[in-house]
Structure 1
Amino acid sequence: MRKQVWTAAAAAVLVLTGTACQAKEDAVNASAAVGAKRIVELAGPNGEKIGKAELTQMSKGVHIHVEASNLVPGKHGFHIHETGLCEGPDFKSAGGHYNPTNKKHGFENPKGPHSGDLPNLSVSTDGTVTADMVAKYVTLEEGKPGSLLKPSGTSLIIHAGPDDYKTDPAGNSGGRVACGRIQ
């Protein structure tokens, strides 16, 4: 009789442990990709495709995976801009940085950062870049504060030079050399 009770108790523990493990696995998956995905085609000043970015909604921001080529080697400012227009060659149609909370530019600015501030891209000597980052202050959920999916759209911009992470409004990152509409 004791053996049967122990066996039943062990079976219950295994079932509960299995359920707990599944719940933990589900929670881990939910903190990874939890929603929408968007593919953003990046174009150079003459409209030529130079790469793409994949945006994935995470539990704490938007993961951005970038792959691009035909860029000048070195560091380049990389930002989310306020309008979803990418008219070359200067991409000024994309407007300023995405800044719905009216902060100052830069991770090192005590009054910042903009919601659209992102880390610099490091382009290798062959002109290519692959990078991953999380934009913590934005979402791909429509109608939510910080949504990149607003009626006029938003865009990703690669700048000619590095972002100094403190100078308002754009970190002295220079002209715009690539653009991609987030839609």
Structure 2
Amino acid sequence: MTIMKMAAIGVAALTMTACQSGGDKADLGESTPGGRSATAMLRTAAGVDVGRATATEVGGGLRFTIDARGMPAGTHGAHVHMVGRCDAPDFASAGAHWNPTSMQHGTMNPQGPHTGDMPNLIVGTDGRGTLGVTIPGATMAGLLDADGSAVVIHANPDDLKTDPSGNSGGRIACGVLTAN
């Protein structure tokens, strides 16, 4: 067999494999055609707009993005909370972290994490920060259940292990997720 024929057979085999792996399910984090999304406008207790959080259906879970502006510089815990309410002054109305699987808090906790646990949001000296994370197994139906959910930004860094909130301090911004 010539090298050209072997190369053609190899390309054909790769093409067939790629076509077969397309299937009905997207890989974790891969965009899903027609996937739903929800958005939350993040505001301080004084009602100042400090950014936006978005949840989008992707293969195997939900992709969360946070675009913050006008926030205090530093590292801040960021979580999805289980109630879609953001009543000032302390946003306690948002409830605890979204935790449908009854785990403990934090990706570094052997009994964790909560579904609503996200990495820390790092805000620069210009007041801007972004975060993007895919949460495996999370669903839009669970996120937008009867009482909804909210995204909350905390005053301090999340230590990613201490139950229930990673010692992340007070709630400084909150936004209710609503379907787009």
Structure 2 unaligned regions, length at least 5: 1-7
For the structure 1 residues 112 and 152, does the alpha-carbon distance in structure 2 shift closer, same or farther, using more than 3 Å as the test? same
Q: Shift of residue 48 of structure 1?
A: 1.7
1:164 aligns with 2:163: no
Counterpart of 1:175? 170
Q: How far apart in 1 are the matches of 2:138 and 2:67?
A: 21
Structure 1 unaligned regions, length at least 5: 1-9
Q: How far apart in 2 are the matches of 1:38 and 1:155?
A: 11
Counterpart of 2:31? 33
More displaced, 154-163 or 67-76?
67-76
Q: Shift of residue 168 of structure 1?
A: 0.7
Normalising by structure 1, report the TM-score: 0.81
**Once superposed, what is the RMSD of the aligned Cα atoms?**
2.4
Q: How far apart in 2 are the matches of 1:28 and 1:180?
A: 33
Q: Shift of residue 23 of structure 1?
A: 6.5
Q: How far apart in 2 are the matches of 1:21 and 1:134?
A: 24
Whichever of the two has the greater Rg, that structure is 1
Q: Shift of residue 27 of structure 1?
A: 5.6
Q: Shift of residue 66 of structure 1?
A: 1.2
Give the length in aligned residue pairs.
165
Normalising by structure 2, report the TM-score: 0.82
2:84 aligned counterpart, secondary structure: coil
**Amino acid corresponding to residue 172 of structure 1 in structure 2:** N
Q: How far apart in 2 are the matches of 1:29 and 1:65?
A: 22
In the TM superposition, what whole-angstrom CA distance separates every residue of 1:85-109 from its partner, at most 9, and x where no partner exists? 0111210010011111111111111
More displaced, 38-47 or 166-175?
38-47
Q: Shift of residue 130 of structure 1?
A: 1.6
Q: How far apart in 1 are the matches of 2:16 and 2:40?
A: 38
In the TM superposition, what whole-angstrom CA distance separates every residue of 1:42-75 from its partner, at most 9, and x where no partner exists? 1111112111112110112111121111111111
Q: How far apart in 1 are the matches of 2:14 and 2:111?
A: 47
- Counterpart contact for 2:65–2:131, Cα < 8 Å: yes
- Identity, in percent, stands at 41
Q: How far apart in 2 are the matches of 1:96 and 1:120?
A: 17
